[in-house]
Amino acid sequence: MKTIEQLYTKKTSFYHHFFIDALGYGKGLEKFFENYSYLKENIKILDAGCGTGIIIRILTEIAKKKKLDGIKYYGFDLTQAMLDLFKKWISKGNDKNITFKKADVLLLDEQLPKDWQNYDLIVSSAMLEYIPKDKIRQAIRNLGSLLKKDGTILIFITKRNLIMRLLIKMWWKANMYEKDEIKQVLIDSGFRKIIFKNFLFPYWHLNHWGFIIEAKK
């Protein structure tokens, strides 16, 4: 088993309860998606590195509240234990339009069904920092190839700073990025319209953790 998969197999519940619940990442994401209109009726959304499914959980709730119908949700992740928690949530009778699969973002060609393409929106939250820096362009190009021509990719990724060096790099073994560095990565991976966004009040503390980047080809 690969190291990242081992890490997340061991820390599945801890990650969900500490990062998503205690540090307020889930609430910060909720506020962000409530504020922006990424959701539209009948679109197709992919959560790349979906883990326990926090993004899809939030999006399905917002879609329900806003009465947006016909949205199809897809997710993939490297770690079966994370997907198992997601599956548990889905099986409690939540949205039926959710499909997920175990896959590595670097091997999407071999591991995803051929009809997983033409996405209107691809979200990747706290996953791309686990890809070795010399392979992140390949990972983003792989995701880009699944987007519709005018589709949007939305990336949440760890920032380089002292706190994150202690918390994320040493503890969670993830990479960190400077603003210009991640922007260049996106340009090299075929994206042109790149916009940096922020977590919103009262979840500003999450802006110490990471960047939110919206990009189109």
Ligand X SMILES: C[S@@+](CC[C@H](N)C(=O)[O-])C[C@H]1O[C@@H](n2cnc3c(N)ncnc32)[C@H](O)[C@@H]1O
The token pair at 183 is: 């922007």
Q: Closer to ligand X by CB, 4 or 62: give it.
A: 4
For residue 148, the SS3 value is strand
Which position among 33, 74, 100, 130 is part of the footprint of ligand X (CB under 6 A)?
Answer: 130
| In contact, 116 and 44? CB cutoff 8 Å | no
Tell whether residue 100 is a contact of ligand X (CB under 6 A). Answer: no
Tell whether residue 45 is a contact of ligand X (CB under 6 A). Answer: no
For residue 66, the SS3 value is coil
Residues in contact with ligand X, total (CB under 6 A)? 19
One-letter amino acid at 43 equals I
Pairing of strands 72-77, 98-102: parallel
* Rounded-to-integer distance, Cα 76 and Cα 99, Å: 9
- The alpha carbon of 66 is separated from its chain's Cα centroid by a whole number of angstroms, namely 22
CB of 206 to ligand X, least distance (A): 12
Stretch that binds ligand X, among 119-127, 144-152, 161-169, 187-195 (CB under 6 A): 119-127
CB of 111 to ligand X, least distance (A): 9
CB of 84 to ligand X, least distance (A): 11
Which position among 8, 74, 100, 191 is part of the footprint of ligand X (CB under 6 A)?
Answer: 8
